[in-house]
Amino acid sequence: MESLTLISQSRSLSISSNLRILSSPNVSSTFIPKDVPYFKTQFLKLPGMATRNVIVSAAMSEKPWKRYSTGGEAKGFVDEMRLVAMTLHTRQQAQEGEMEAKAPEEQRVEEWEPTLDGYLKFLVDIKVVYDTLEQIIEKPSFPSDGEFRNTGLERSEKLAKDLKWFEEKGYGVPEASSPGVAYAKYLKQLSEKDPQAFICHFYNIYFANTAGGRIIAKKVAEKILDSRELEFYKWDGELSQLLQNVRDKLNKVAENWSREEKNHCLGETEISFKFYREIVRLMLS
């Protein structure tokens, strides 16, 4: 799985423009590969969120996550993003996961008990996030973000069709709630001042939906939708090729980044997980 199954026990996050990222070279963490002699780590702190250590570099190497790559080393910056993301899964969700499941949503998807009301909340909130992402890409503050227009991975129109179908069937579609609104606000802030951090979220959000998202969708559909496949999980064209095209674009954009900028992008992964997990958790409400 290339990115997130995105499930955890974290509580709703309030967004603040004063996100603090503090460097420390001497902190150990379960996320740090034990076979690397020196690490630069970051403390990521948001209001109401416990501080956690996240690896952003190992010996400042171009290949800091060698231990996790099935091929022996990262083959591009997208591979680095994927490898870092995998460590943030629970052991129940992925073989490479390093977190221990403590809450129901951190367990295997087969063990979930989703509700229809909760799933509608999820669809509404995740649409707010995709709407925001696609608006940002359409009129980007940084030219490099414009590379990701019309990739074929866009989801807003598909989600609109799904929500219309629910309405036509007589289901009450709720207003967007704080998890989706908060994440959209944060993405907008990043897009205006922090292109590396924004790309981290772009990657994790879109690639999560094509990997763990589809697994979740199948299991949820079996339990509460009579196995109906939503438009949200359908793509126009060959998905594998669409994903490869975006990987190539991401790698090309990252070629112009310094190692420090790449590490800054990677260091945003945990924040991406925490926001998205809040939205995924709505399914179980």
Nearest CA to 275 out of 189, 197, 186 is that of 186
**pLDDT tens-digit map of 84-130:** 998 887 666 666 665 666 665 556 778 889 999 999 999 999 999 99
Of 105, 48, 138, the closest CA to residue 282 belongs to 105
Domains within the chain, CATH numbers bracketed: 115-283 (1.20.910.10)
Q: Answer with the residue of higher pLDDT: 44 or 269.
A: 269
Is residue 190 within 8 A of residue 136, CB to CB? The reply is no
Paired sense of beta strands 52-58 and 20-24, if any: unpaired
CA dihedral defined by 250, 184, 224, 219, rounded to 10 degrees? 30
What is the rounded CA–CA span in Å between residue 167 and residue 163? 6
Backbone φ and ψ of 43, nearest 5°: -95, 125
Mean pLDDT of 253-261: 97
Q: What is the pLDDT of residue 102?
A: 65
* pLDDT score of 74: 59
* pLDDT at residue 112, as a whole number: 84
The average pLDDT across 69-97 equals 75
Mean pLDDT of 65-71: 38
50-65 pLDDT per residue, tens: 333 333 333 233 344 4
Amino acid at 223: K
Q: Which range is least confidently modeled, 104-113, 160-169, 197-206?
A: 104-113
Q: What is the pLDDT of residues 177-195, one digit of tens each?
A: 999 999 999 999 999 999 9
Q: Is 200 a residue whose pLDDT tops 70?
A: yes
CA 20 to chain centre: 20
Check whether 154 has a pLDDT greater than 60: yes
For position 107, what pLDDT does the model report?
A: 67
Longest dimension (CA), the chain: 60
Q: Tokens in use for 38?
A: 């020196």
Average pLDDT, the chain: 78
State the pLDDT at residue 105.
58
SS3 call for 239: helix
Rounded Cα distance, 45 and 131, in Å: 26
| 2 has pLDDT over 90 | no
User: Which residues lie across from 52 on neighbouring strands?
Assistant: 44
CB atoms within 10 A of CB 60: 13
Per cent of the chain over pLDDT 90 is: 62
pLDDT computed for residue 73 by the predictor: 53
